[in-house]
Amino acid sequence: MSLEEYHCWCSEVMKEFAERLRGVVSKMLVMLSLGLGLEEGKLEKELGGMEDLLLQMKINYYPKCPQPDLALGVEAHTDVSSLSFILHNMVPGLQVYKDSKWVTAKCVPDSMIVHIGDTLEILSNGTYKSILHRGLVNKEKVRISWAVFCEPPKEKIVLKPLPELVTDKTPPKFPPRTFAQHLQYKLFKKTQEDFVSPK
Burial profile 4-37: b = 16 or more Cβ within 10 angstroms, e = fewer: eeeeeeeeeeeeeeeeebeeebbebbbebbeebe
pLDDT for res 193: 54
Ranges of the chain with pLDDT below 70: 190-199
Based on the residue annotation, tell me whether 7 is a catalytic residue of this protein: no
The one catalytic residue in 42, 88, 115, 133 is: 133
- Which CATH number do you get for residue 182? 2.60.120.330
Based on the residue annotation, tell me whether 88 is a catalytic residue of this protein: no
Could you report the per-residue pLDDT of 166-194, keeping only the tens digit for each?
999 999 999 999 999 999 988 887 555 55
Q: Is residue 199 part of a domain?
A: no
Find the domain containing 44 and state its range: 3-194
Number of domains in the chain: 1
pLDDT for res 198: 52
pLDDT for res 127: 97
Based on the residue annotation, tell me whether 182 is a catalytic residue of this protein: no
pLDDT for res 6: 73
Q: Is residue 121 part of a domain?
A: yes
The one catalytic residue in 7, 27, 77, 129 is: 77
